[in-house]
Structure 1
Amino acid sequence: MALKTMTYNARGLQRQLSEIIDIIVENRVDVVLLTETHLREAHKPYIPGFTIHRKDRGTSGGGVAILVKNEIRHRQIMVPSSEMEIIGVQVNAGTRPVNFFSVYKPPDTKLDCDVLHDILSEPQVTVVAGDFNAKHTFWNCSGKNTAGTTLYKFIEANRHVHLSVPTEFTHFPDNGNSPSTLDLVLTNRGHKIARTRVLHSGSSDHLPVYFQVQQFPEIIFPEASLQYHLADWNLFRESLNDATSTAKPALTTDQDIDDAVEKFTSDIVSSLRISVPKKSTIIKPPVLPDEIKRLISTKNRVFVTQRV
């Protein structure tokens, strides 16, 4: 089982929430690395079935977040201080945990190669993805900028770092400038990712980038709920009668009372198990109507055609 992952510059998580949920559901994404979330403290975005870890800028713009399926065992991890906006989580994957970092480098800041080196030199499999605002012809941009040149030199100097880019542009500026590829994926120790591709979805000026990490996450199975409306109460009554005695118990000490209560409770639970069916609690996020999906798809096709 591969970890299905997506990095996306949402340009506002709150206003894109329904579309992002739809993208997640349609592509069965497990981990989402978001940049430019534009969240404030008062914002409480909710994505059914997912835990959201966020690092807000505190002022306008920016912000990063990581969404992880509730059923995947994981924890947030500390990241070094940097001008870049970074948040990280570690996903349990057997004996080889995977570190995920969502990174946003604002246009007016320097690319922090020291931080990239530190997190990509960890012994765990590490995935660093996001909007680096770094342009270079090596990853299909029409030109180079300072951040792109710096990142290219960093990759060349660190052979354990692997760069993955989609074959299509990921950023289509609103001002009509040439499209470019700003949303990149870095991995360490030769751990290449698979199926990297652009998703033509969402209303941001960036397109989501989907990829798979070939690791097996540790799954937390959802608790099953008892379906009392389908219970066989006759079976429950018979089972409880067989398990309990009509004789008056000898309750002479506190321990006798505790033991009797514990046994009676155990008998009830055992009878419930065989007489009341269970159903796993699975949260299904809402999806956009088909007509809205078609309109978004049409908009993106027109958008890309006009910019290329």
Structure 2
Amino acid sequence: MSLNVIQWNCRSLLPKITDLECYLYKENMHICICSESWLSEDKHVSITGVNCFRKDRSDGFGGLIIFVHNSIRAKMLDISLPHNNLDFLGIELMNSSSLKFVINIYSSRNVQTSRYDYDELFGCLNHKTLIGGDFNAHHAAWSHTEM
């Protein structure tokens, strides 16, 4: 079974949910990794035929979602890394031979992360892992402006 996957920094999901739903069906997407959902716990999000795994932030910004088509059995991972500076959400795919884990990461530009944060998270996973997200990564080769 081949999987169609998309990663999207939606920067406020609710106003765009109908367009996303149409796109997922039109393009036959199995997994959609969304960062910066900007949802709070009291906001309900659903797409017909799709399971929603999400991690909201208390400030209503950031936020992570992984949408998974109902044809794929999935469960949320319980990874506790109390000293890690990354916001992350992980799921385990139960009926896919090619992919075992999907991880969504949000690294806020206001939070200082280190290689240790990534090594610690990636050390919990295996080689059948897809990682997506918004890393807010900057490098001199990509831009001449200072952040």
1:142 corresponds in structure 2 to: 143
Higher helix fraction: Structure 1 or Structure 2? 1
Structure 2 residue 135 is matched with structure 1 residue 132? yes
Once the two structures are superposed, what CA deviation does each residue of 1:66-94 show, in whole Å capped at 9, x if it has no partner?
A: 11111101111023343321100011323
Q: Which residue of 2 aligns with 1:87?
A: 89
Residues 104, 131 of structure 2: 8 Å contact kept: yes
Q: Which amino acid aligns with 2:135?
A: F
Are 2:62 and 1:59 equivalent residues in the alignment? no
Change (3 A) 1:70 1:144: farther
1:161-214 deviation digits (Å, cap 9, x = unpaired): xxxxxxxxxxxxxxxxxxxxxxxxxxxxxxxxxxxxxxxxxxxxxxxxxxxxxx
- Give the equivalent residue in structure 1 for 2:50: 50
Question: Counterpart of 1:21 in 2: which secondary structure?
Answer: helix
Call closer, same or farther: CA 1:135–1:145 in 2, change over 3 Å: farther
Structure-2 separation of matches of 1:28 and 1:107: 33
Normalising by structure 1, report the TM-score: 0.43
Find out whether 1:25 has 2:28 as its counterpart.
no
One-letter amino acid of the structure 2 residue matched with residue 134 of structure 1: A
Whether the aligned pair in 2 keeps the contact of 1:134 and 1:145 (CA below 8 Å) is no
Alpha-carbon distance in 2 for matches of 1:6, 1:63? 17
1:114 to 113, 116, 121: 116
- In 1: Cα distance, 2:56 partner to 2:17 partner: 16
Q: Does 1:40 align with 2:24?
A: no
TM-score normalised over the length of structure 2: 0.85
Partners in 1 of 2:91 and 2:145 — Cα distance? Answer: 31
- What residue ranges of structure 1 are gaps of 5+ in the alignment? 147-308
Amino acid at match of 1:64: L
CA contact (8 A) 2:40 2:56 kept: yes
1-structure distance, mates of 2:41, 2:33: 19
Q: How many Å separate the matches in 2 of 1:2 and 1:136?
A: 34
Q: How does 1:291-302 map to 2 (within 5 A)?
A: none
Give ranges in structure 2 of 5+ residues lacking alignment: none
String of CA shifts for 1:105-164, please: whole Å, max 9, x gaps.
1111123432321333333411211111102366xx234878xxxxxxxxxxxxxxxxxx
User: Which aligned runs of 4 or more in structure 1 are off by greater than 4 angstroms?
Assistant: 143-146
Residue type at the aligned position of 1:125 = K
Match of 1:6 in 2: 6
Alignment-derived partner of residue 100 in structure 1? 102
Separation in structure 1 between the aligned mates of residue 99 and residue 85 of structure 2, nearest angstrom: 27
CA-atom RMSD, angstroms? 2.1
Equivalent pairs, count: 143
Matched residues in 2 for 1:112 and 1:90: separation? 25
CA contact (8 A) 2:99 2:130 kept: no
Q: Is the 8 A contact 1:91 1:97 kept in 2?
A: yes
